[in-house]
Amino acid sequence: MSSEEKDDWSKGFATLVAKTHREQAKWFLNGFWNEGGEDAAEDVWKITHHFVELGCGQKILYGKKKQNLEEGCDLDEVKSHRILEILGETMTVLALRKRLDALDIDNNKRMSLSEYLLDKYGKTPSKLVNAPQGTIEGKELEEAEKKVTQAQELLDEALVAKDDCEKKEAPLKKANEELKAVVDEIQEIEKKRAEKIAKLDGKINNKKNSTVTIGRAKSEKDQLLSEDPLPLRKAKLTQKAQLKKVKKARKPFKKATDLAKEKHEDAEKAFKDAEDFLNELKNRGGTPHGSIWWMSRELQEKKKFMP
């Protein structure tokens, strides 16, 4: 390749590889969407995530609040070795060195996602730099990104509301369990009392028993019916107090439940709005298909965490 030919794309390439990994991925998919890019989109997604996560030292989490990932644009020599291993390109040190030299198109001893993708899919730097990026107005893409971001923000709020709902449910659940224990205790006391009365009724109604036995049984039964046993009185007082605790705990739980439902509905509406807008853009002429696909794919991942 002559220096003149390289000059045709080298400046544009330098600008491209200064973009973040994900921006480079979108550029690549936009440019080659109709030349295998669409079929390769899911693999490019996975490869890009490996680049981002290896570079940042942490996973991209779609179900959490917005992460402040310091996403880079390329990998140093050590991480370049590692990414090839992650992507299943294990080889000897010598072979790996040659592989990295071949991949490092701009000879800066670092490997960008663009360089890797060019090699993997057999594209040229010149073609990549000059690849069409769609003719949809920038403001419409910004609007799409805004809608995707809003969906994420409302998902965050829905997840926070869900967590709060679960926290508010814990004391209510405990109060209900304690109430049930008291109710069970009362029922057990009353059951034993009823069994005693039934046993006494058996003696009273048994004609074979003597007058003395029947009289004693009647007296004992009257006493049982007239008294309010201390354990039962105590249990009923505890039940009354426990009912108040349940009522007190139910109010904040209901409020949290209502808010969680509202936030869930808001998030669902925002996701639908974003998806509808992306579909509308996708069906227009001059669509940057890679960028639109990428945003739709992000929404798909985020939606998995909808509470």
Assess whether 269 and 186 both reside in one domain.
Answer: yes
Token pair belonging to 244: 């108040």
**Do 293 and 148 reside in the same domain of the chain?**
yes
Per DSSP, 62 falls in state T
Residue 78 covered by a domain: yes
End of a domain among 133, 150, 180?
A: 133
179 and 77 in a common domain: no
Whether the predicted pLDDT of 17 surpasses 80: yes
Q: What is the pLDDT of residues 157-190, one digit of tens each?
A: 999 999 999 999 999 999 999 999 999 988 988 8
List the domain range (segments joined by +) for residue 71. 3-133
pLDDT at 1: 46
Domain C-terminal end among 113, 133, 153: 133
Whether 159 and 299 share a structural domain: yes
Looking at the fold, whether 71 and 120 belong to one and the same domain comes out as yes
Residues contacting 290, CB < 8 A, separation 6+: 25, 26, 27, 28, 29, 30, 31, 33, 37, 41
Assess if residue 22 is contained within a domain. Answer: yes
- The verdict on 92 and 184 lying in the same domain is no
List the end-to-end C-alpha distance of the chain, in Å, as a whole number: 55
CA atoms of 289 and 297, how far apart (whole Å): 12
Sequence-ordered alpha helix ranges (H) in the chain: 3-16, 21-32, 37-56, 77-86, 93-103, 113-121, 125-129, 138-204, 211-226, 230-282, 289-303
CB atoms inside a 10 Å sphere around CB 214? 16
For position 88, what pLDDT does the model report?
A: 86
Give the pLDDT band (50/70/90) at residue 299: very high
More confident of the two residues 6 and 143: 143
93-103 and 113-121 are packed helices; what angle lies between their axes, rounded to 10 degrees?
100
Question: Both tokens of residue 137?
Answer: 């107005």
295 within some domain: yes
pLDDT the model gives residue 291: 94
pLDDT band at 4 (very low <50, low <70, confident <90, very high): very low
Q: Based on the fold, state whether residues 171 and 191 are members of the same structural domain.
A: yes
d(CA 30, CA 33): 5
Rounded CA separation 76/24 (Å): 17
Burial 15-32 (b: 16+ CB within 10 A, else e): ebbebbbbbbbbbbbbbb
Strand partners, 74: 112
What is the number of domains present in the chain?
Answer: 2
Instruction: Determine, yes or no, domain membership for 206.
Output: no
Q: Are strands 74-75 and 111-112 parallel, antiparallel or unpaired?
A: antiparallel
pLDDT at 64: 63
Of residues 143 and 2, more confidently modeled: 143
Count other C-beta atoms under 10 Å from residue 69's C-beta: 17
108, 133, 158 - which closes a domain: 133
Please name the residue that has the structure tokens 């057999």.
Answer: 122
Question: Does 296 map to a domain?
Answer: yes
| Helix extents (H) in 57-112 | 77-86, 93-103
Structural domain contains residue 209: no
Nearest to 172 by CA among 239, 238, 244, 240: 244
Classify residue 204: in a domain, yes or no: no
- CA–CA distance, 122 with 133 (Å, rounded to integer): 19
Q: Same domain, yes or no, for 150 and 299?
A: yes
Q: Give tens-digit pLDDT for 26-71.
A: 999 999 999 999 999 999 999 999 999 999 998 888 876 667 788 9
Task: Tell which residue, 240, 76, 267, has the closest CA to residue 154.
Answer: 267
Do residues 42 and 178 both lie within one domain? no
**Cα 42 to Cα 30: distance, rounded to the nearest angstrom:** 14
Same domain, residue pair 21 and 118: yes
Q: Dihedral of CA 53/54/56/58: which sign?
A: positive
User: Are 93 and 182 in a shared domain?
Assistant: no
Residues 95 and 182 in one domain: no
Whether 289 is in a domain gets the answer yes
Percent of the chain with pLDDT over 70: 94
DSSP type of residue 35: G
How far apart (Å, rounded) are the C-alpha atoms in residues 32 and 133? 9
